[in-house]
Chains A and B, each alone.
Chain A
Amino acid sequence: METQIEEIRIGALAEIEAASDEAAVEAARVKYLGRSGTLSAISEGMRALSKEEKPRIGKLLNEARNAIASALDGRKSELAAASEARAFADLDISLPGIPAWRGSLHPITQIQERAIGILRRMGFSLADGPDIETEWHNFDALNTPADHPARNEQDTFYLPDGRLLRSQTSPVQIRTMTSFPPPIRIIAPGSCYRRDEIDATHLSQFTQMEGLCVDERVNLGDLKGTLDLFVRELFGAEVKMRWRPHFFPFTEPSFELDILVASGGKSRWLEMAGCGMVDPAVFDAVNKQRGDAAYDPERVTGFAFGFGLDRLAMNMAAAPDIRLFIESDQRFLSQF
């Protein structure tokens, strides 16, 4: 019987080793360990053994059974692993990835976000005003003469009731100062409207960012320091700037700030911002509206600046036509 068990064990292990698929392993399990398998038959024959023989043969039988079972399991996982490996071996790893939807923020939103981020770090908070404005907020309070060409029906959009679509974000200066006493440090992004024909470099609606700082002892140096830092944060510390004296009704002295940009191998000055020291006439108008002297021009001074985000976005993206920014063409939007 001992020999018989040993022969079965050797035969089984060899057969399992040779099994080439899961079915063959399963067949071996049935053949050796199954209810009517060979080891079971021997186990049946144990009844005939003597009391002395039984434990010894039983032990041998158990050892054989365990060895075969473990060989079966081992072979089975070997075959499974081989089959998985074969599956990966057949994989064409060069197949393209499955695309995911990719959305985008509008390039003007992105540049606006950057600009706001920089100015907030300098201690400006946001302010807001309506697109539909009164002529007083948009022109009178901003020291614009009654017969100034900008007030013309040819240049500014009017509503039937005499109000207008703001031609600049500067009326937010007036709204802020009439509502809050100094000190003021605000920025105000928003839409403005001018009665310009739409073409490659003009829109009748554009996005501006206004800034205003009013306090005691604010001088031109504060304006220069603020915009200098802002421009360097936006375009890099090495950006070249120049300040040209200019004329705006609501600031005096007034400047235009240009930055040197490279385009097509050449560099040229790009108008970046208009700015200046708040004209005392603006403070006078605000005081009159407030009914106090909170903005006494002898006590407080201020600076204001404004710049167009559309032109800026157009230049930063090197886009050839400003209309791309309002056309909502996904082939354009998805580039940002």
Chain B
Amino acid sequence: MKISLNWLREYVAFDGDAEALAEILTMTGVEVEKIERRGSDIEHVVVAQILESTKHPKADRLSVCKVADGTGEPRQIVCGAKNYKVGDMVPLALPGAVLPGDFKIKVGRLRDVESQGMLCSAEELGLPKGEDGLLILPPGSEVGAPLGSIFPSDAILDLEITPNRSDLLSHIGVAREVAALTGLEFTAKRVRNAELNSAHPVEIAADECPFYSVRKITGVAVGPSPAWLRQKLETVGIRSINNIVDITNFVMLEMGQPLHAFDAYKVEGDLWVRPASAGEKFLALDGKTYELNSTHLVIADTARVAAIAGVMGGEGAGVTEKTTSVWIESAYFQPTSIRRTSRGLGLLSDSSYRFERDVDPAGVLIASQRATELIAEIAGGAPGELRIGFGAKSQFGFDAEGAAEGIEYTGSVPLRRERCARLLGVEISDDEISAILTGFGLRQSETGWEIPSFRPDLVREVDLIEEIARVIGIEQVPERRTARFAPASDADREYDRLMDLRRRLAGFGLHEARTLSLISERGLKYHLGPSAVQRLRNPLSEDHAVLRPSLLPGLMDALARNGRAGERAVRLFEIGRIFASEGVEESLSLALVLSGPVAPPSWRSGALRNVDLFDLKGLLAALFGANVHFADAQSGGVAYMASVAIEGGIAGRAGQLWPNETKLLDLSAPAVFAEIGLSAWLRCSDAGGQYREIPRFPPVTRDIAMIVAAGTMHSQIDTILSGANEPLLATFDLFDVFTDPSGEKMPAGKKSLAYSLTYRSPERTLTADEVNAAHARVKERLTSALQVQLRE
């Protein structure tokens, strides 16, 4: 909300500058988003009138002017502008003036002609840029008067008011707060016409309007507002419309109570408050037609809707220059009703903004009175009686004593000094508490502190303690540093293990990605698992509508982005939550994508091969420190896919994108990927390694090369060698796979596999005979179990 410093000073004698005020407000809970400067009040800048203008004898573009500056002596000024005529009023910077940008004005000579000052443009005076050339002032301006009398300087503070402080949505409200915080006197007076009797109550057919008042003023002259009023509104960014509408806006900005003016001749019969009918159409003042329903509250006459209650008036009953008689509405609406209507229709206004945050019930009639007096003063007219109405369940009442004083109290809240000290950690004396709370308009009673009606946020003891904390500031609170041993929680253990996994992956040269949990429907094509997905009811866009059932859609996006960026090697991983609609709803998952050369290219590497599924498999084995099995290979929609099983019951999927998919992602090399569920891994013991004896005797290696049918799998050989029951056979490794499609070196339906077998005894150095015997037995098992042809 925008607050004018000059306007504020009418209610509190704050003589600091805008920065000082901003500091006070910021440090007591009202954030100041920005400070704007208005007006121009520079010393030695005065109104001047141009008496004559002749061409400069030596410069085509310059003129020599004679101007009146109020001293009686004409002054000679050289000027470059063209937009003026003799007789115009213009700003004149006299020698000694300092314009924005530290531009000092002196008597000088321009091409041999003396210039005794400078005629100024708006921009040169720090005013908003207008037409090119000099700033032409209103014709009636007083020659010699300081420019500040026409453009008084002001500062506009844009405040961010928290939702609990509806009382700060007006100049008087902010002034009251400033007075309480600084101890300065609060000079705004609240006056209410105590005449409430009405022979004709307003009919209210909706509980959401506890109180409604309207007053007819006849014989008004609608026209432009006086300068002071126009200027006040414009300075805080409200467009001046006409004197009646401007007065209602002024009172709202002054007191926080939104008002509305209807053209009395356009209202048929009496105004009343009712819910809208379903499908009822309404043309609002913003020029748009809204379709209403029964949850919307309206002000209507006997024929039609005149306003959406508390939100916006209609074109139909709006005040125009032809209006001669008006109804001035001042009411109280339930905040929830206004919020519902405003959000439902997507229609926000200064009025709805205040009503939905709650207005001061006791301020309703005070605002009505204020507007009535201003209208009588500015637009003339005769105020009629004040008609009021109460909603059926309304608890509204006006207390006669309050009417005179202008403050009503809504309830009493007890406050214990020791409770305050216990929560804040600092002792506050009764006197100090009393000074603070009284400053905010509270009144001490037998039972506690009575709360003024404009502070609906103060309901509990802790609310009062907060007010005290706000004023004393946290600087006064002594800081305490207390810590206690915190045993590791399940979340601690999980976090540590995941960090360990992340570091290992970074150690393998992968970059950690963090993609969004919300993905597009489109992205589901990379979701290769079976579970059904969860969708949002109110997504912001199609790109973020589905809760990811897999990390792969996000990583594939990342893969494509890096591909487009020309990255030859893409190596990414992510650890994050995935979502399912059945079974475990949220679980942790690890995904990796790899594409490009196996090693960083260098001057020595020559042509590098690209990563494939076996690099991925090896990476997973090293990562988890366990054997990894790929199985059940199948061709899916986007990739060649296999299931992944890792010792410890860890499972997942791995695959390689089809070439057309790779191309779609703008990648220059094949891409392999895996996604591993981490729940099982997190359940595995993290006890750390266990010692196994380190071999003391040297190993002996023997190789076996064999030719097998092309369809024979390594896993078959693996099973035979693992199950060989040969105690001396310690390990075996596949070291060569050879096929020859040409059939020259080997028949086409065959392949050659070569294994290196390591024999070792924990007790002694093996003899050649022992090893040869064991090796012969292993070969025998192979040949008898499989159709293998050993190559010697």
A131 CB–B CB distance under 8 Å: yes
B536 CB–A CB distance under 8 Å: yes
The CA-CA distance from A140 to B565 in the complex, in Å, is 46
B623 to nearest A CB, angstroms? 12
Residues of B within 8 A of A136 (CB): none
Stretch at the interface among B241-249, B488-496, B710-718: B488-496
Q: Which residues of chain B (539-596) have a CB below 8 Å from chain A?
A: 539-540, 544, 547, 554-555, 557-558, 561-562, 565, 567, 570-572, 577, 579, 585-586
Q: Is the CB of B27 within 8 A of A242?
A: yes
Residues of B within 8 A of A331 (CB): 565, 567
Q: Is the CB of B518 within 8 A of A244?
A: no
Q: Is the CB of A205 within 8 A of B511?
A: no
B773 to nearest A CB, angstroms? 42
Residue of chain B at shortest CB distance from A280: B462
Contacts A105-B503, A125-B489; A219 near B600 (Cβ below 8 A): no
B425 CB–A CB distance under 8 Å: yes
Residue of chain A at shortest CB distance from B481: A225
Q: Is the CB of B586 within 8 A of A131?
A: yes
Q: Is the CB of B514 within 8 A of A106?
A: yes
Q: Is the CB of B495 within 8 A of A116?
A: yes
Residue from the list B478, B483, B484 in contact with A221, Cβ < 8 A = B478
Residues of A within 8 A of B539 (CB): 157
Residues 47-78 of chain B: 1 if any A CB is under 8 Å from the residue's CB, otherwise 0? 00000000000000000000000000000000
Q: Which residues of chain A (217-241) have a CB below 8 Å from chain B?
A: 217, 219-222, 224-226, 228-229
The CA-CA distance from A100 to B600 in the complex, in Å, is 6
Residue of chain A at shortest CB distance from B466: A253
Residues 472-489 of chain B: 1 if any A CB is under 8 Å from the residue's CB, otherwise 0? 011101111111111111
A263 CB–B CB distance under 8 Å: no
Residue from the list A204, A222, A224, A329 in contact with B516, Cβ < 8 A = A204
Contacts A224-B477, A334-B511; A329 near B538 (Cβ below 8 A): no
A301 CB–B CB distance under 8 Å: yes
B506 to nearest A CB, angstroms? 4
Extra A-B contacts (11), CB below 8 Å, given A104-B512, A158-B537: A105-B506, A121-B483, A131-B577, A153-B537, A157-B537, A204-B540, A207-B514, A221-B478, A246-B29, A253-B469, A326-B515
The CA-CA distance from A99 to B599 in the complex, in Å, is 8
The CA-CA distance from A193 to B502 in the complex, in Å, is 24
Q: Is the CB of B492 within 8 A of A126?
A: yes
Question: Lowest 10 CB-CB distances: which A-B pairs, in order?
Answer: A101-B509, A219-B425, A221-B425, A328-B558, A245-B29, A103-B506, A247-B162, A225-B479, A328-B513, A123-B483
Residues of A within 8 A of B340 (CB): 147
Residues of B within 8 A of A255 (CB): 474
Q: Is the CB of A98 within 8 A of B502?
A: no
B82 CB–A CB distance under 8 Å: no
Question: What are 21 A-to-B residue pairs whose CB atoms are below 8 Å?
Answer: A95-B603, A98-B602, A98-B604, A100-B509, A116-B495, A120-B492, A124-B486, A126-B491, A128-B491, A131-B517, A159-B534, A159-B536, A221-B425, A221-B480, A222-B482, A252-B462, A325-B514, A327-B561, A328-B513, A328-B555, A330-B562
Residues of B within 8 A of A116 (CB): 495
Residues of B within 8 A of A105 (CB): 502-503, 506, 512
Residues of B within 8 A of A203 (CB): 516
Residue from B163, B480, B499 with most neighbouring chain A CB atoms (10 Å)? B480
B443 CB–A CB distance under 8 Å: no
A261 to nearest B CB, angstroms? 17
Residues 755-784 of chain B: 1 if any A CB is under 8 Å from the residue's CB, otherwise 0? 000000000000000000000000000000
The CA-CA distance from A38 to B600 in the complex, in Å, is 60
Residue from the list B26, B31, B423 in contact with A277, Cβ < 8 A = B423
Contacts A246-B29, A329-B561; A103 near B507 (Cβ below 8 A): yes
Contacts A224-B479, A301-B422; A252 near B463 (Cβ below 8 A): yes
The CA-CA distance from A268 to B565 in the complex, in Å, is 34
Q: Is the CB of A96 within 8 A of B577?
A: no
Q: Is the CB of B28 within 8 A of A245?
A: yes
Residues 423-455 of chain B: 1 if any A CB is under 8 Å from the residue's CB, otherwise 0? 111100000000000000000000000000000
The CA-CA distance from A101 to B568 in the complex, in Å, is 13
Q: Is the CB of A224 within 8 A of B502?
A: no
Q: Is the CB of B486 within 8 A of A328?
A: no
Residue from the list A98, A113, A127, A243 in contact with B474, Cβ < 8 A = A243
Q: Is the CB of B505 within 8 A of A252?
A: no
B603 to nearest A CB, angstroms? 7
A191 CB–B CB distance under 8 Å: yes
B736 to nearest A CB, angstroms? 26
Q: Is the CB of A219 within 8 A of B517?
A: no
A199 CB–B CB distance under 8 Å: no
B653 CB–A CB distance under 8 Å: no
A149 CB–B CB distance under 8 Å: yes
Contacts A122-B483, A149-B339, A247-B163; A99 near B29 (Cβ below 8 A): no
Residue from A100, A104, A243, A328 with most neighbouring chain B CB atoms (10 Å)? A328
A320 to nearest B CB, angstroms? 17
B193 CB–A CB distance under 8 Å: no
Q: Which residues of chain B (70-124) have a CB below 8 Å from chain A?
A: none
Contacts A253-B469, A327-B561; A220 near B462 (Cβ below 8 A): no
B182 CB–A CB distance under 8 Å: no
The CA-CA distance from A99 to B336 in the complex, in Å, is 64
B335 CB–A CB distance under 8 Å: yes
A322 CB–B CB distance under 8 Å: no
Residues of B within 8 A of A279 (CB): 462
Residue of chain B at shortest CB distance from A207: B514
Residues of A within 8 A of B495 (CB): 116, 126
Q: Is the CB of A247 within 8 A of B571?
A: no
A43 CB–B CB distance under 8 Å: no
Q: Is the CB of A125 within 8 A of B487?
A: yes
Q: Is the CB of A185 within 8 A of B502?
A: no
B465 CB–A CB distance under 8 Å: yes
Q: Is the CB of B515 within 8 A of A330?
A: no
The CA-CA distance from A106 to B511 in the complex, in Å, is 7
B663 CB–A CB distance under 8 Å: no
A83 CB–B CB distance under 8 Å: no
Residue of chain B at shortest CB distance from A127: B491
A332 to nearest B CB, angstroms? 9
The CA-CA distance from A174 to B693 in the complex, in Å, is 51
Residue from the list A153, A195, A226, A333 in contact with B481, Cβ < 8 A = A226
Residue from B426, B474, B537 with most neighbouring chain A CB atoms (10 Å)? B474
Residues of A within 8 A of B485 (CB): 123
B535 CB–A CB distance under 8 Å: yes
Residue of chain A at shortest CB distance from B470: A245
Residue of chain A at shortest CB distance from B572: A328
Contacts A98-B604, A126-B495, A157-B539; A205 near B517 (Cβ below 8 A): yes
B525 CB–A CB distance under 8 Å: no
A62 CB–B CB distance under 8 Å: no
Residues of B within 8 A of A121 (CB): 483
A204 to nearest B CB, angstroms? 6
A157 to nearest B CB, angstroms? 5
The CA-CA distance from A280 to B460 in the complex, in Å, is 10
Residue of chain A at shortest CB distance from B343: A152
Q: Which residues of chain B (236-261) have a CB below 8 Å from chain A?
A: none
Q: Is the CB of A197 within 8 A of B540?
A: yes
Residue from the list B28, B462, B506 in contact with A104, Cβ < 8 A = B506
Q: Is the CB of B469 within 8 A of A245?
A: yes
Q: Is the CB of B511 within 8 A of A333?
A: yes
The CA-CA distance from A326 to B576 in the complex, in Å, is 13
The CA-CA distance from A127 to B587 in the complex, in Å, is 16
The CA-CA distance from A268 to B653 in the complex, in Å, is 49
B505 to nearest A CB, angstroms? 6
The CA-CA distance from A253 to B164 in the complex, in Å, is 13
B370 CB–A CB distance under 8 Å: no
A211 to nearest B CB, angstroms? 12
Contacts A96-B603, A124-B486; A221 near B426 (Cβ below 8 A): yes
The CA-CA distance from A299 to B642 in the complex, in Å, is 59
Residues 249-264 of chain A: 1 if any B CB is under 8 Å from the residue's CB, otherwise 0? 0001111000000000
Residues of B within 8 A of A204 (CB): 516, 518, 540, 544
